[in-house]
């Protein structure tokens, strides 16, 4: 069978302006696809409607085009994909792998500080959940509940322990996930937040498969969530792309750029007369070659 066409994606959340870190991510995704005759797709990750704004989205698209990037249409907007995310969650519920959870952050902290609890562990999604609501039936799920994955049951359901291939410089190679690490250092992650009814974890996995992404290019800060992506792909019978986590762009003090760091917004550099070539140089990329 012929290899599928290489597809990468840039998946910004329109919660602020595009800054240097995003520009580097988008340029990397674009160039990795182009190097092998593939294409880059764009996905607007706007499930958190309280934080995402159409004005930011318009500005992001404008900055990307100004940088000289091109992407295959249509652009996928996650706010239009809630039924697909709901269907994935229903499937996991039918498999008996999720449960409703009414714990608030304060409940979780209290449970973890109980004398019999071990030292709290910080996972990719915050404190590893102590399991207070584990075993509650889905029939009890109401608007006050988040939905969590029962990690131990999920792993018991898989034929083999999950693994993924990383092509990024910091962790290049094949990664085999350990059952103990997944249970104790990742734990029962939230798959549906009570406010939006879904989560980044579900949306990213469903959409990477839907857009037939062959390599996920994103920042090193998301390396730790990759095991969650892989487990969900395995449970839902979706194919796994390879992963490329790139270095993060930091400010002069070595701190990672934040969305609210408007001084690093591409729009600001544009106002000050910078060219796309200047942006490439600022993020440490060599000059663009002609398409
Ligand atoms: N939407 C995420 C962000 O803006 C990117 C998620 C991903 O690439 O998987 O940080």
Q: Are 23 and 128 in the same domain? A: no
Q: Are 126 and 242 in the same domain? A: yes
In this predicted structure, what is the pLDDT of residue 2?
67
In this predicted structure, what is the pLDDT of residue 252?
73
Q: Which domain holds residue 113?
A: 81-247
Give, for ligand 1, the residue of 12, 196, 205 to mutate: max count of ligand atoms closer than 8 Å to Cβ: 12
* CA-CA-CA-CA torsion sign (93, 97, 99, 103): negative
Task: For residue 215, give the H/E element and its range.
Answer: strand 215-219
Is the Cβ atom of 88 under 6 angstroms away from ligand 1? no
Give the predicted TM-score (pTM) of the model: 0.94
Mean pLDDT of 257-267: 75
Asked, for residue 189, whether it belongs to a domain, the answer is yes
CA of 113 to the centre of ligand 1 (A): 32
pLDDT of 231 above 70: yes
Is the Cβ atom of 248 under 6 angstroms away from ligand 1? no
Contact criterion met (CB below 8 Å) for 63 and 41: no
The Cα-based distances of 8 to 59, 84, 207 in angstroms read: 21, 21, 12
Contact criterion met (CB below 8 Å) for 189 and 154: no
Asked, for residue 252, whether it belongs to a domain, the answer is no
pLDDT of 260 above 80: no
Q: Are 95 and 209 in the same domain? A: yes
Is the Cβ atom of 78 under 6 angstroms away from ligand 1? no
pLDDT band at 253 (very low <50, low <70, confident <90, very high): confident
* CA-CA-CA-CA torsion sign (31, 35, 40, 45): negative
Q: Are 73 and 201 in the same domain? A: no
Q: Are 152 and 95 in the same domain? A: yes
Asked, for residue 68, whether it belongs to a domain, the answer is yes
Is the Cβ atom of 222 under 6 angstroms away from ligand 1? yes
Whole-number Å distance between alpha carbons of 243 and 72: 20
Asked, for residue 220, whether it belongs to a domain, the answer is yes
Dump pLDDT digits (tens) for 151-185.
999 999 999 999 999 999 999 999 999 999 999 99
Q: Are 147 and 183 in the same domain? A: yes
Q: Which two tokens stand for residue 115?
A: 């004398």
- Computed over every residue of the chain, the mean pLDDT equals 93
CATH number where 225 lies: 3.40.50.620
CA of 198 to the centre of ligand 1 (A): 15
Q: Which two tokens stand for residue 121?
A: 């562990």
pLDDT of 291 above 70: no
For β-strands 7-10 and 39-44, DSSP reports them as parallel
Give, for ligand 1, the residue of 81, 203, 204 to mutate: max count of ligand atoms closer than 8 Å to Cβ: 204
Asked, for residue 70, whether it belongs to a domain, the answer is yes
Asked, for residue 254, whether it belongs to a domain, the answer is no
Mean pLDDT of 82-95: 98
Q: Are 69 and 121 in the same domain? A: no
Please give the torsion angle defined by the CA atoms of residues 194, 198, 200 and 204, in that order, rounded to the nearest 10 degrees.
170
Asked, for residue 253, whether it belongs to a domain, the answer is no
pLDDT band at 131 (very low <50, low <70, confident <90, very high): very high
Q: Are 142 and 90 in the same domain? A: yes
Q: Exposed (0-12), middle (13-18) or buried (19+): which is 117, by Cβ within 10 Å?
A: exposed
Q: Are 278 and 198 in the same domain? A: no
Q: Are 94 and 227 in the same domain? A: yes
In this predicted structure, what is the pLDDT of residue 118?
80
DSSP state of 146: E
Mean pLDDT of 217-237: 97
Q: Are 121 and 241 in the same domain? A: yes
Domains: count for the chain: 2
Mean pLDDT of 235-252: 93
CA of 218 to the centre of ligand 1 (A): 7
Of residues 164, 227, 199, 206, the one with CA closest to residue 43: 206
Percent of the chain with pLDDT over 70: 97
Asked, for residue 255, whether it belongs to a domain, the answer is no
Q: Are 141 and 240 in the same domain? A: yes
pLDDT of 259 above 70: no
């Amino acid at each position: 069978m012929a290899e599928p066409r290489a597809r990468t994606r840039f998946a910004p959340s329109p919660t602020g302006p595009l800054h240097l870190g995003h520009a580097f991510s988008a340029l990397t995704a674009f160039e990795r696809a182009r190097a092998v005759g593939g294409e880059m797709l764009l996905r607007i990750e706007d499930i958190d409607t309280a934080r995402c704004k159409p004005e930011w989205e318009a500005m992001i698209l404008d900055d990307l085009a100004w940088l000289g990037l091109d992407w295959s249409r249509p652009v996928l907007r996650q706010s239009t994909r809630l039924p697909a995310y709901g269907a994935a969650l229903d499937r996991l519920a039918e498999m008996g792998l999720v449960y409703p959870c009414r714990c608030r952050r304060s409940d979780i902290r209290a449970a973890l500080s109980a004398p019999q609890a071990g030292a709290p562990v910080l996972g990719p999604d915050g404190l590893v959940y102590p399991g207070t609501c584990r075993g509650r039936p889905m029939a009890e799920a109401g608007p006050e509940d988040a939905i969590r994955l029962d990690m131990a049951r999920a792993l018991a359901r898989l034929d083999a322990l999950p693994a993924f291939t990383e092509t990024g410089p910091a962790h290049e190679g094949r990664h085999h996930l350990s059952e103990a690490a997944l249970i104790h250092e990742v734990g029962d992650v939230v798959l549906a937040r009570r406010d939006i009814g879904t989560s980044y974890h579900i949306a990213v996995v469903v959409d990477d498969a839907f857009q037939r992404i062959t390599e996920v290019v994103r920042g090193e800060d998301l390396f730790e969530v990759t095991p969650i992506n892989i487990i969900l792909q395995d449970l839902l019978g979706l194919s796994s792309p390879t992963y490329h986590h790139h270095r993060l762009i930091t400010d002069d003090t070595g701190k990672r750029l934040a969305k609210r760091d408007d001084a690093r917004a591409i729009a600001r550099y544009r106002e000050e007369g910078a060219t796309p070539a200047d942006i490439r140089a600022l993020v440490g990329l060599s000059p663009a070659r002609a398409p």
